[in-house]
Chains A and B, each alone.
Chain A
Amino acid sequence: MSEVLILVELHDGDVKKVTHELLTAARRLGEPSAVVVGAPGTAAKVRDALAAHGAAKVYSAESDDAADYLVTPKVDALATVAATANPAAILVAGSSEGKEVAGRLAVRLGAGLIVDAIDVDGSGVTSQSIFGGAYTVKSKVGHGTPVITVRPGAIDAEAADGAAAELSAVDLPAVDAARATKILSREPVVGGDRPDLAEASVVVSGGRGVGSAESFSVVEELADALGAAVGASRAAVDSGYYPHQFQVGQTGKTVAPQLYIALGISGAIQHRAGMQTSKTIISVNKDAEAPIFEISDFGVVGDLFKVAPQLTEQVNKRKG
């Protein structure tokens, strides 16, 4: 069986959930090989986690520079492995950096690129949801090794035994300073104890209707009761109520949780583009004509400052 390369995404040295999703998708296409790029010692720490999701092989592309430069070390690593492994496909997470890695890798390999797949079948046909969920298209790469980015959260990760006993070391080419971008510092997203927005199964979002940064605690309290991530509309972000990295919508994050609760959000098309493929949508808005109701499974016309705290209380009571 041919190898299928996946690029491992890490957070604080741990494997991100999307990596397990990539391994699950890769198993449909062949034998998954995980490629770890980072500072020396990174791969050894995550090998077991990768094997538990079916990685048959783990490549470690490690150097001090690998962690200190943007995008290109990952492209170098995948291109180097691809040259000898001759993989059936290469899967990369559809994160901001993942999309950039995949794009550069595709031109370097002279291969076709599929961006933002929500599903991949055994014959390499991918599904993509475009225009904020208005269309589903099926595509296939007809040239070279398919390079596919997979939307985080779209594929259910399944555990599986992988052989992954040994690490295969990959030699990274030296960094060409004139063409590379140095990372000076990082300030990871401080989501606190809340789940990652893109990976959460429940998202509670607030809009301009929340009215101020202080009152966003109403949104946060409901989110915490439900074990949810917090999101925000662009108007809420622009008004300084909540940080930009939590924006949901066309120019923010695309989320597709089991449950999406919109508080004080009108439901503009650009917001809907980022959340309308959620399984269940619930909204609270004091304007009965707000377009968000058109796509809500359950809507309450009312004041979010009355409805949301009551819901929080009910949820906490049921948990109690």
Chain B
Amino acid sequence: MNIVVLVKQVPDTYSERKLADADHTLDRGSADAVLDEINERAVEEALLIKEAQGDDSTITVVSMGPERATEAIRKALSMGADAAVHVKDDALHGADVLQTAKILAKAIGTVEGVDLVIAGNESTDGVAGAVPAIVAELLGLPQLTHARKVELNGTTLTVERETADEGLVKLEASLPALVSVSEKINEPRYPSFKGIMAAKKKPVNTVTVADLGIDTGEVGLDNAWSTVLEAAPKPPRSGGTKVEDEGDGGTKIAEYLVAQKLI
């Protein structure tokens, strides 16, 4: 079975994230970058499926991003993925959700006979939660998104979709298909020393936009179908009153709420 996992390098949410003043794009230099936690779970799920299949399944990670994305790719490979496709092109600077999905769909197309695409449900920087669905649209695949549980029986996939607004929805489709995983799906493994060493020898195919048969004039900030007109940092919220509880903490809050006309 051929599995593709979509992984993304994101600014670490523990560090401050900034927009570049010049063009309102993510200032990738300003924060530490890591393999998005949700994508570790996506890789883990691919590994679990491969292990359950007990055959010679191949897991290919696909990532679009600047040079630094190689770190995320290496991490995925050291967890146990077999190969990688890295779409790296300066023309992609400022790519929007739609462009990203189009590039990823093309990059997935370079992997032969894909049976299953696994993505994270939402990235921690974009939080569009739309890329997997759009990739499914472009590739004509059924989408089984926001999965907290995935089961594969032959070529039939069943998934428990869990979202805050819909609750639990049980889904079914047949392969080839696209799955996006939610935070509750699994606990990703740590790469072993052996895995880290092995990752160094695994093939990473670096491709450009042109290699994917896309005109560079169709991508990047200048060609996005929506534009950011202005961006303003919110003034940081400042703390208000802080009191020690002296047996009347609850009453104090109630008084505050009354004063603010909140109760």
Contact = CB atoms under 8 A, between A and B. Distances in A.
A137 to B, nearest CB: 4
Looking at chain A's contact residues, is the secondary structure mostly helix, strand, loop, or mixed? mixed
A233 interface: no
B234 A134 contact: yes
B239 A100 contact: no
A314 B96 contact: no
Interface string B131-145: 111101110111111
A181 B128 contact: no
Contacts of A188: 166-167
Interface stretch (A19-27, A40-48, A55-63, A287-295): A287-295
Contact of B169 (A95, A139, A185, A311): A185
Interface residues of A, number: 98
B245 A142 contact: no
Contact of B250 (A246, A273, A276, A309): A309
B142 A179 contact: yes
Interface string A124-167: 01000101011111111111101000000000000000000000
A299 B101 contact: no
**Size category, B interface:** 35 or more
A314 B254 contact: yes
Contacts of A259: 257, 262
Contacts of A137: 19, 24, 228-232
Contact of B251 (A131, A139, A314): A314
Nearest to B37: A251
B94 to A, nearest CB: 12
B241 A299 contact: yes
A146 B225 CA distance: 9
B22 interface: no
B164 A70 contact: no
Contacts, number: 280
Contacts of B129: 96, 99-100, 115
Interface in B118-163: 122, 124-125, 127-134, 136-138, 140-146, 148, 158, 161-163
A113 B249 contact: no
B234 A187 contact: no
A156 to B, nearest CB: 17
Contacts of A179: 140-142
A282 B229 contact: no
A96 B98 contact: no
Contacts of A252: 164
Task: Identify the interface centre among B132, B133, B165, B224: most chain A CB within 10 Å of its CB.
Answer: B165
Given A104-B134, A111-B225, A182-B171, A311 B253 contact: yes
Interface string A81-118: 00000000000000111011111101110011111100
A187 to B, nearest CB: 4
Given A187-B168, A311-B254, A306 B245 contact: yes
A100 B262 contact: no
B242 A288 contact: yes
16 contacts: A75-B137, A99-B133, A107-B137, A134-B16, A137-B228, A137-B229, A140-B227, A181-B142, A181-B177, A182-B171, A188-B167, A244-B162, A282-B256, A284-B245, A293-B242, A295-B237
